[in-house]
């Protein structure tokens, strides 16, 4: 027996728009409305509207909330200012990545942790277990929020007409409560597309009204509804890791080239946090014997590398593995993220190819990201 897929508050809206739906982590989500390439280009050049209500929100409150999160996560969460957000990870005792997260500090003693849909239960369970002994409450708020994202260069202009919130004062990776189109929202300047944009956490009952208001406000600016398919190519071009691809429980943050998110200099809990000893070892290992590095690959041809395809060196030996690959609408060529042996990881390394179903297709090694917006 498989459970029926969960549907977001915007389900009927997506169907009315003719979306192609797909199962994603137990949710029935829009994959695309028309052409995923057109949606991708809209986000890069104008604006796109996403339903991300499948993401998992967990609220952590109480006088010990900061201490709990410092202990449970690898980042320095107590150091996040009220109204700001931080990208961080939750690891197991062996240093393996359970999920990557964004943590918003909503108040002095209130945080919202946003987990990937596929890992929301794992994160909730881990936080609940790790809260033992802390004066903090971990609350499952997955059903309390719908999440809409407006992404793209036109997004500030679109939102400005709908809110009194001070968007100019809202920095990247910050969030503040406000009202958008008359509905209460947590307005965050975050996203997963490489563009300027906003994520709006609202009550599910308000989701349709907000979607319609954003659609109307964005009409003249060329805003279009966007599905998960273009979200994946957008984040790939922006070099952003995806759980299950670049990040897994078999990978520590150091192995993923994201060791900078691990903060060993914590002042709370005597500096202790889950995974500390294993992560120290992983750091030392990475310094002494560089692990495979996460690099970008750009195709010379047109065949598309897929996750799991081997990366091969000049002599045909396997030197790595593709973790994500897609045709890049912005570059006009297939691109991939891949873990590659350090000896072949330098940009411009000659003779690197991807084994695409038996054929070695030449690829150029580049530094990530493939795309960076002009500020």
Name the binding residues for substrate. 199
Of 285 and 303, the one with the shorter C-beta distance to another protein is 303
Is residue 238 within the footprint of another protein (CB under 8 A)? no
Report strand pairing: 6-7 vs 359-366.
unpaired
Is residue 78 within the footprint of another protein (CB under 8 A)? no
User: Which of 8, 9, 21, 32 is the binder for another protein (CB under 8 A)?
Assistant: 32
Specify burial of residue 78 (Cβ count, 10 A radius: 0-12, 13-18, 19+): middle
Shortest spacing between CB 233 and another protein, in angstroms: 7
- Could you tell me if residue 220 is left (phi over 0), alpha (psi between -120 and 50 degrees) or otherwise beta? alpha
319: cis peptide before it, omega within 30°? no
How far is it, in rounded angstroms, from Cα 371 to Cα 373? 7
How far is it, in rounded angstroms, from Cα 343 to Cα 208? 52
Q: Which sign, positive or negative, has the C-alpha torsion 34, 40, 41, 43?
A: positive
Is residue 327 within the footprint of another protein (CB under 8 A)? yes
Is residue 35 within the footprint of another protein (CB under 8 A)? yes
User: Which of 357, 358, 374, 375 is the binder for another protein (CB under 8 A)?
Assistant: 357
Count of positions on this chain that bind another protein (CB under 8 A): 17
Shortest spacing between CB 131 and another protein, in angstroms: 39
Residues 108-127 that bind another protein (CB under 8 A): none
Cβ atoms of residues 44 and 152 within 8 Å: yes
Shortest spacing between CB 52 and another protein, in angstroms: 19
Residues 173-232 that bind another protein (CB under 8 A): 229, 232
Footprint of another protein on this chain (CB under 8 A)? Answer: 20, 31-32, 35-37, 229, 232-233, 302-304, 306, 326-327, 334, 357
């Amino acid at each position: 027996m498989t459970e029926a897929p969960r549907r977001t508050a915007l389900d009927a809206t997506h169907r009315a728009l003719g979306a192609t739906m797909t199962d994603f982590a137990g949710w029935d989500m829009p994959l695309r409305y028309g052409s995923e390439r057109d949606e991708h280009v809209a986000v890069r050049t104008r604006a796109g509207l996403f339903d991300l209500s499948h993401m998992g929100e967990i609220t952590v409150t109480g006088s010990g909330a900061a201490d709990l999160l410092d202990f449970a996560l690898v980042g320095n969460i107590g150091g996040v200012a009220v109204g700001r957000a931080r990208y961080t990870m939750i690891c197991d005792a062996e240093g393996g990545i359970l999920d990557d997260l964004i943590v918003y500090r909503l108040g002095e003693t209130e945080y919202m942790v946003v987990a990937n849909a596929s890992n929301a239960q794992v994160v909730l369970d881990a936080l609940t277990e790790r809260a033992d002994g802390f004066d903090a409450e971990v609350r499952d708020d997955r059903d309390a929020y719908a999440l809409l994202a407006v992404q793209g260069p036109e997004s500030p202009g679109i939102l400005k007409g709908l809110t009194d919130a001070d968007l100019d004062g809202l920095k990247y990776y910050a969030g503040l409560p406000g009202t958008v189109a008359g509905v209460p929202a947590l307005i965050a300047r975050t996203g997963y597309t490489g563009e300027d944009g906003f994520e709006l956490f609202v009550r599910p009952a308000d989701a349709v009204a907000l979607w319609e208001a954003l659609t109307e406000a964005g009409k003249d600016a060329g805003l279009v509804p966007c599905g998960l398919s273009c979200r994946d190519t957008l984040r790939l071009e922006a070099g952003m890791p995806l759980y299950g691809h670049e990040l897994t429980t078999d990978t520590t943050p150091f192995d993923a080239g994201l060791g900078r998110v691990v903060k060993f200099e914590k002042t709370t809990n005597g500096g202790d946090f889950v995974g500390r000893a294993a992560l120290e070892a992983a750091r030392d290992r990475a310094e002494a014997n560089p692990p495979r590095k996460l690099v970008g690959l750009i195709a010379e041809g047109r065949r598309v590398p897929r996750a799991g395809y081997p990366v091969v060196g000049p002599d045909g030996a396997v030197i790595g593995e593709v973790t994500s690959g897609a045709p890049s609408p912005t570059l006009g060529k297939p691109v991939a993220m891949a873990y590659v042996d350090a000896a072949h990881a330098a940009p411009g390394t000659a003779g690197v190819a991807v084994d695409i179903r038996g054929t070695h297709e030449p690829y150029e090694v580049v530094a990530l990201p493939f795309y960076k917006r002009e500020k």
